[in-house]
Structure 1
Amino acid sequence: MPNPATSHHRAPAWHWVLATALILAAASIPVLRFLIFWPKDQWQVDVEVYREAGVSILIGRPIYDAMTEAPQLLPFTYPPFAAILAIPLALLPFGVVGWLWTVAQIAATTGIVWYAAYRLIHTGPGGAARPLILGALAAPMFWLHPVGDGIRFGQVNAFIVLACLMDLRRPRPRLLRSIAPGVLVGLAMAIKLTPGVFLIHYLVTKRYREAAAAVATAAGTWIAAAILLPSASLAFWGGALQDPARLGPNMGTSNQSIRGVLMRLGPDGVAGSAIWLVCVLAVGAFGFALARRAYLAGDSITEVAAVGLMACLLSPVAWIHHFHWMVVVVLAILGAQPWRDRRRAFAAALIWVWFTCRLPWWGISWIANDWPPEVIGRILQNADLAGALLALWLMHWALRRSAPGRPGALSPGPTPPASGARGAGIRSRRPAGSSPGASA
C-alpha cells in the first residue's frame, strides 16, 4: 500500500492540467456572463470601489467622500487599512484590475475547496486522484449564487473566507507554520469587520491566545493606518462606520441577513428591533454552540462554516455575495466519506441546489408579475436566509451523525488542552483518515 504521507506527490501532471481545465470551464460560465456579456456600467463595480480608494490615497483625495463614476456612485466602506492594500490596484488600468481580480477569486475559491475538502481529498482513492477530486468538487462551487455574485461585482469575500479557513482548519496548513493561530483572522478583521464573529467563537471555546493574536493583529494594522492616514481613520471610525446607508438600501432583496428580512416583512420601530434582537440571540446561541461542538469533535470545517454563517446572519447587512461561506458549508455537510453516508451527500446536494437557483430573484419575478399567491414570492425573496438556517441545522445533524459508530464518523480525538495550557489554541488531533499530507 502506498505511503499516504507521500502519495499526494505522485499525481501525473496531466491530472493537474485536467483539474485546472475543469475548474476554468466551470468558472467560465459566471465569467462570461458577468465580465463579457454584462452591461459595462455595472462591470466589476466593487473592485472599482477598492481601486478608487487606492487612487484617493495617491492623489490626496478624502477616501470616504469619493464615489465611483455614475451611474453606480458607490463609496468606500472598509477600514483605512483596506484602502492602503488597494494602492497597487490604483497603479494598473481598471480593465486589467478587473480581470486579475477575477482570476484571483477563482484561485481563492479553489483554495477554499482544497482546504475545506481535505478530509475527502486525502481519504479518497489515492494521491494520483487528488487533483481530479479537487476539480470535481471545486467546479460546481462556481455556480453557487454567492460565488457568482462575487465574480460579478469583483468582491473580496473569497479572500476573507480563505484566510479564516486557513487559520482555523486543523491540521494546520504547512504555509502557516511560522504564523500564530489567530493572525489571519485578525488580518481579515482589519480589512472587513464581519470576521470579528470569530472572536466570539474564540472566547466561547476559551482560546484566549488566538483571540489575543487576532485582536493584536487587527489593532496593529488599524493603528498603523491611523498613523499613515489620520484624517481617513477619523472619518471612518468617527462617522462612516455608523452609517449603514453607505452600504446601500438595507431593505433590498440582496440583504439576506436576519435584519434585512425583518425590514421587509416585520414591523418597524421598537417592535422590529426587539424581534431582531431576539432572533439574533437565538440564532447566535445555536450557531456558536454548534461551532463549539464541532471544535470539541475535531471537525474544524463545520466549526469554520458555522461561525462564517454567523457573520452573515447576525450582521445588520449581509449581501448575497457575503454568503461565499456556503462553499465551506456544503463541504462540511458532505464530510469525509459521503459514499458511506448517502444522506449526508443528499443534504449537501440540497444546500448546493438551494444556493445555485438564485431563489431571491425568482421571488422578485413572482412579485413583479403579480402571480398569486403573493406569499410564495415573499418566501422565495427571502430564501437565502431560510437556506442558511437550514444549513445550520443540517450541519448540526451531520455532526451528530459523525459520532463514533455511525457511518462516515470521525474518530474521537483527545480532549482539547485546558485553557491556558501551552499550545491551547493548537490542536494536534486530526479526523480519522487524514494524513500528514493533509496539512498541505
Structure 2
Amino acid sequence: MPVHGTAGLPPLRERLRDHRSLLTVIAVAELVAVMVVSTVNTHDHIDGEVYRLGAKALLAGRDLYNGLPATESGLELPFIYPPFAAIVFAPLALIPKAGSTAVIMLVSHLALIATLYVVLSASTFLRAHRDKVLLVTAAALPLATISEPVLETITYAQINIVLMALVAIDCLWRTDGAKKLPYPRGLLIGLAAGIKLTPLVFLLLPLLRRDVRMIVVSLLTFLGTALLGFALTFDNARRFWLQEMLASSNVSFGPKFTGDASTYAGNQSLRSLLSKMSTQSLTVVFGLLALLALVLAVAGMVHAVRQRDLPTAVTINAIFGLLVSPISWSHHWVWAIPGLVLLIGAAYVRRNWGLLLATAMTAGFFMMGPHWKMPQGDGLELTWNFLQQLIGNAYVYFGLAFLLYNAVLWWRSRRTVIDPGEAAPETPRTAPVP
C-alpha cells in the first residue's frame, strides 16, 4: 500500500537504480555500523533474556513477578511489564537464547528503518521531494544505528525501537486518496501501551487534535490487552495491576547499575537531574518543571500540527514523556534520533546554518553518550561538579531545548496568519486542528 504522497513517483526499482552507487556505499556503511554494534559490550543481552525468562514462566504457569531464574550471567532481574508483554514474548521461549536475541535485534533493526521512513515520508522538508525519502532514510540509517540510545537498545536486546515504530506508524502512516488503513488508527498505540505502559503519553497528540476516535481506539485496545492478561494468567495480571504497576519505579539493577535509580548516570529524566543536584526532596520543583515542560510541549505541538508537521508533533510528545518519566534510561531516548533528523532536515532546507551546527553538535553527544564518561555508581553522581552536571545530563538539556525551540516557533507565529498549505492527510473531519 503506498505511503501518502507517493502517487506519481517512479517505481521503486527505478528509484533504486538511479541511486545504485550511493546506496551501495550506504549499505556498506550500515554493514560496518551493524558490525560495530555487534562487537561492543553486549551487556549479555540481559533485557532480552528477561523477556524470554518471563515468557517461559508464563507458559509454565509460574509467577511472573517473583522468583524468576537468574540470567546466564547470574543476575536476578525482575519482569516489570504487564502480562500482555509476556504473551507477546511467548515465541521467544520456544527457541534458544541466541535465537531469541537475534530475533529481537533483527526486529529492532527493521523497526528503526520503518520509523525513519515514515517520519521522513511525512516530513515537511521532503514534501516536495518524495522521491528522495528512500535515499535520505538509507543515509540516516548508519548514523542512527551507532547512536548511543539505539546501540544500547540493541545490545541490551531491548524493545524501545519496536515501541517507537508502533507509535510512529500509528501516527504518521498515510495512504493515498480514499484508501483506508488496514486497521483503525490508535490500535498500535494501544498495543504498545499494553506491552509497556509509557506509550499512553502519546494520547496527548490526538487530544490536542481532538481526534476522539483515535483516543477511544487506543484506550479500548489497551484495555483489551489487560483483559487478555486476566483471561490467560489471572493471578499474574492481578498482581501486576494492583501491586507491581505502583512499584515499577523501584527497579533492580543490572551489572552497571549500582546505587539509586533516581541518581544513576544512565537515568536521563527531569527527576533524575534534580536528584543528582540535591539529596533533599525537590518534589515541588519537579512538579513545576514538569508543568513547564507540558506547557512548552503543548505550544510546540500546536504549532507543528498547524504547520501540518505531524512528525515533529509526535517527537515533541515523545520528548515530553521522556522528561517527566521517573526513569528514562538513556536507551529510552531512541526518539531523539528522529528528532535530530527532523531538525537537520529543516535547518538545511531553510539554510539555517546556526541551527544546523547546533543540531550536529547535539548529535555528537548522542553518539558518545557523555553520561557514561562521568563518575557513576555508588552515589558518585552526587559529587558531580557544575560541568559534569551539564555533560552528564546532556539528554535532559537537549530535551528541554527541543521543547523550548518549538515553543518559540509557536510564539513567533501566534499572530501570523497560517497558510493551510497541503491538507494534513487523513485528518478526521471530527478532529479539527487546534
- TM-score (structure 1 length as normaliser): 0.82
CA distance in 2, matches of 1:20, 1:101: 26
**What's the secondary structure of 1:355's corresponding residue?**
helix
Q: Counterpart in 2 of 1:259?
A: 271
**What are the equivalent positions in structure 2 for 1:138-149 lying under 5 Å apart?**
138-149=141-152
Q: Does the alignment pair 1:133 with 2:136?
A: yes
Gaps of 5+ in 1: 428-440
In the alignment, does 2:363 pair up with 1:352? yes
CA distance in 2, matches of 1:410, 1:21: 40
Pick closer, same or farther for the CA change 1:245–1:21 going to 2, 3 Å: farther
Q: Given that residues 19 and 134 in structure 1 are in contact (C-alpha distance below 8 angstroms), is that contact kept between their aligned partners in structure 2?
A: no
- In 1, the alpha carbon distance for the partners of 2:369 and 2:357 equals 19
Partner of 2:301: 291
SS in structure 1 at match of 2:368: coil
Q: State the 1:134 CA deviation.
A: 2.1
- The aligned amino acid for 2:313 is E
Among candidates 291, 301, 310, match of residue 281 of structure 1: 291
1:74 match: 77
Deviations 1:252-308 (A, max 9, x none): 111111111112213433xx1111111111111211221122122211011100001
SS at match of 1:412: coil
Q: Which residue of the other structure, out of 292, 304, 329, is the alignment partner of 2:339?
A: 329
Distance 1:132 1:293 in 2: 28
Task: Determine which of 401, 422, 430 is the counterpart of 1:424.
Answer: 430
Q: Equivalents in 1 of 2:106, 2:25: separation in Å?
A: 14
For the Cα contact (< 8 Å) 1:166–1:172, is it kept in 2? no
Shift of 1:358: 1.3
How far the C-alpha of 1:425 sits from its partner, in A, is 4.4
Q: What amino acid sits opposite 1:204 in the alignment?
A: L
Please tell me the residue identity of whatever aligns with 2:82.
P
Q: Is the 8 A contact 2:52 2:90 kept in 1?
A: yes
Report the counterpart of residue 245 of structure 1 in structure 2: 250
Q: Percent identity?
A: 22
1:319 aligns with 2:325: no
Cα distance in 2 for residues equivalent to 1:354 and 1:173: 38
Which whole-Å CA distance do the structure 2 matches of 1:92 and 1:380 have between them? 41
Aligned-partner residue type, residue 86 of structure 2: A
The verdict on how the C-alpha distance between 1:356 and 1:86 changes in structure 2, with shifts beyond 3 A counting, is: same
Q: Deviations over 1:379-403 (max 9, x none)?
A: 2111211121122233445678999
Aligned amino acid, residue 245 of structure 1: N
Aligned-CA RMSD value: 3.5
Deviation at 1:130, TM superposition (A): 4.7
Matches of 1:99 and 1:416, distance apart in 2: 36
Q: Determine the C-alpha separation between the residues in 2 that align with 1:169 and 1:350.
A: 28
Distance 1:364 1:233, change over 3 A: same
- 1:310-330, CA deviations, whole angstroms, 9 ceiling, x for partnerless residues? 221111111001110012211
TM-score w.r.t. the length of structure 2 is 0.83
SS in 2 for 1:11: helix
Which amino acid counterpart does residue 221 of structure 1 have in structure 2? T
2:321 pairs with 1:306: no
Q: Which of 385, 394, 398 lines up with 1:387 in the alignment?
A: 398
Give the match for residue 51 of structure 2: 50
- The DSSP-based 3-state class of the residue aligned with 1:78 is coil
State the distance in 1 between where 2:48 and 2:209 align: 36
The residue number in structure 1 matching 2:10 is 7
Give 1:250 deviation, angstroms: 2.9
Distance 2:425 2:154 in 1: 39
* Kept after mapping to 2: 8 A contact 1:26/1:143: no
For residues 31-57 of structure 1, what are the alpha-carbon distances to aligned partners after superposition, in whole Å with 9 as ceiling and x for unaligned? 445544536xx3111111111111111
CA 1:71 to 1:32, structure 2 compared with 1: closer, same or farther past 3 Å? farther
Tell me, yes or no, if structure 1 residue 217 matches structure 2 residue 227: no
Amino acid corresponding to residue 76 of structure 1 in structure 2: F
Task: Go from structure 1 to structure 2 and tell me whether the alpha carbon gap of 1:212 and 1:4 turns closer, same or farther (over 3 Å shift).
Answer: closer
